[in-house]
Chains A and B, each alone.
Chain A
């Protein structure tokens, strides 16, 4: 099935600079174009429109007026070169067009032609060019070789954010009828069925019952994974991969155990059974709002007091940075938006709105409300992969860097063996897994394999030197990408682990089989133990 069958790139001696440039090394990569129904389902023209060149320029002009940041990014690059070697796709492919500055220039050259004096009259002098079919195809190719991870922007002295440039390029392409199949098909399903998978309510209910049964078999406790429970305190919004894929499912079972042990009432929603919101990847604010409003509707209908978000990287960026103004989850909704205003009043402001599942678990750990048997995880030596959108697009906790500290703290609370990868590859300078930003599709397998190179190199180092056996993540895309990519780099597939899987495996729940095994079953055995100590 995967078209890309070649071996992965070899690990480099100095994992920073490619050996030599290979122009157009990945020019042949371009994802499937969205079918007409994928486009029209989410409000875009079905196919390339008449006068598309003109309409694309008009759209660019509209975005320049709407997003001041985009205008600044188009104008302010001084070609200093700081970003050039910071992109994992450049490192993995050696294709110079995967240098962030070159990627921006694919759009900037057209911007100059139409929106600057010099470009209008002396295009050749300033590297300005017309928007032709070749340019459009080049955009479709190289703006889908960017996972919008924003690592390059950390190193840009002007703070130019290539992710926003990529989003703008994709929005322009969508607006003239030339979108990407993967993102747009999924967004259509999400708006019709309620999740990216297209998992209907009946199937979701049956699936959750199976997982609950598995937890009960394991713990001896009637742990539930509730669905559509009106009046529950907490609505959990989690990526639908948590209902379907490995190791995501084990993360979901971990959340369920934590909620049960915390004694809170919680629920999932079949109407809003998705945390992901690919609208961000395609730069579509209108779709982003439509999707976020599903969550608002579910929260209002169920009457919940809190909203907690499961392990999903870009979803947490959307939740943390955009839910407030788009849906009233958090403060800042428009005064005339009655539903958002109603929800702002309904939610309990004693808790973060929204709250990350890691924050939820962390608070319980801090309060001493969770008991762990860390030995359960002794067979693992764990390292943690910071997801780009959590690391650079959001935060956790109430202090700077909380998004780095909190997931690590809960892993360390549940496990004895934790090590870090090379500091140049984690936290704010973390590398993308290689599959983010709408690239997690089989038709882009080659760029996914090559883009994973820097992360695989850093992982390999801790595997060889410190015996790491597991890579923990807090993002559905990272988990799915690594499950596919690890075997290609000769690591075991099940090395990738949900963070709440590690939590769940060590959690000693009150009244559980695990608790009885640790403490003895009843008074009699205590006496026996006491007796044997005396003799």
Chain B
């Protein structure tokens, strides 16, 4: 199974997550978003960029609460809540946004 991005096939797992996060480009993110039926806006990309920065530092996606706080600090309090994030990523910011960001799927009781 793979994801076609600009004529090149990127490897994905059974659920369509990229196997190698170094394969990720903005174009790949856009293709991943299509598989989730997401219309990407600047607000979506702000979250994606934050996730990738956080992952670079900590080797894991942030907790939803950490994400909402960070978004709130950066983009204003009205955006710093999980409702805002669920509007952007209806299937859950942790799993769906991670997929678009090319990060591994978080596992566990979540």
Min CB–CB distance B105 → chain A (angstroms): 8
**Whose C-beta in chain A lies nearest to the C-beta of B14?**
A32
Chosen A-B contacts, 19 in total, with CB atoms closer than 8 Å, are: A1-B36, A1-B96, A1-B99, A197-B106, A197-B107, A202-B58, A203-B58, A206-B58, A211-B65, A214-B65, A241-B109, A243-B63, A244-B108, A244-B110, A245-B63, A246-B64, A276-B109, A442-B15, A479-B109
Flag whether B5 is at the interface (Cβ < 8 A).
Answer: no
Known: A189-B107, A245-B63, A312-B109. 19 other contacts (CB 8 A): A182-B107, A186-B107, A196-B109, A197-B108, A198-B60, A198-B107, A199-B60, A206-B58, A210-B63, A210-B66, A214-B69, A240-B109, A243-B63, A244-B108, A245-B94, A245-B109, A249-B65, A440-B109, A443-B15
Flag whether B12 is at the interface (Cβ < 8 A).
Answer: no
For residue B66, which residues in chain A have a CB less than 8 angstroms away from its CB?
206-207, 210
With A2-B91, A202-B58, A211-B65 in contact, do A195 and B108 touch (Cβ < 8 Å)?
yes
Chain B, 60-103, contact with A by CB distance < 8 Å: what is the 0/1 string? 10111110010000000000001000100001101110010000
A185 touches B58 (CB 8 A): no
B15 touches A1 (CB 8 A): yes
For residue B96, which residues in chain A have a CB less than 8 angstroms away from its CB?
1
Tell which of A1, A181, A189 has the most Cβ of chain B within 10 Å: A1
Interface residues contributed by chain B, number (CB under 8 Å): 25
For residue B15, which residues in chain A have a CB less than 8 angstroms away from its CB?
1, 442-443
- Bound-state Cα–Cα, A400 to B36, Å: 49
B69 touches A244 (CB 8 A): no
**Whose C-beta in chain B lies nearest to the C-beta of A477?**
B109
**Whose C-beta in chain A lies nearest to the C-beta of B108?**
A196
For residue A484, which residues in chain B have a CB less than 8 angstroms away from its CB?
92
Task: List which A232-251 residues lie within 8 A (CB) of chain B.
Answer: 239-241, 243-246, 248-249
Min CB–CB distance B71 → chain A (angstroms): 13
A interface residues (Cβ-Cβ under 8 A, vs B): 1-2, 32, 181-182, 185-186, 189, 195-200, 202-203, 206-207, 210-211, 214, 239-241, 243-246, 248-249, 276, 312, 440, 442-443, 476-477, 479-480, 484, 493
- Bound-state Cα–Cα, A477 to B107, Å: 12
B110 touches A480 (CB 8 A): yes
- Bound-state Cα–Cα, A493 to B87, Å: 13
User: Can you list the 4 inter-chain pairs with the closest CB atoms, starting with the nearest?
Assistant: A196-B108, A203-B58, A476-B109, A245-B110
Flag whether B59 is at the interface (Cβ < 8 A).
Answer: yes
A196 touches B107 (CB 8 A): yes
**Whose C-beta in chain A lies nearest to the C-beta of B106?**
A197
**Whose C-beta in chain B lies nearest to the C-beta of A481?**
B109
Min CB–CB distance A316 → chain B (angstroms): 13
Chain B, 4-27, contact with A by CB distance < 8 Å: what is the 0/1 string? 000000000011000000000000
For residue A243, which residues in chain B have a CB less than 8 angstroms away from its CB?
63
**Whose C-beta in chain A lies nearest to the C-beta of B66?**
A210
For residue A479, which residues in chain B have a CB less than 8 angstroms away from its CB?
109
**Whose C-beta in chain B lies nearest to the C-beta of A196?**
B108
With A1-B15, A186-B108, A246-B65 in contact, do A200 and B82 touch (Cβ < 8 Å)?
no
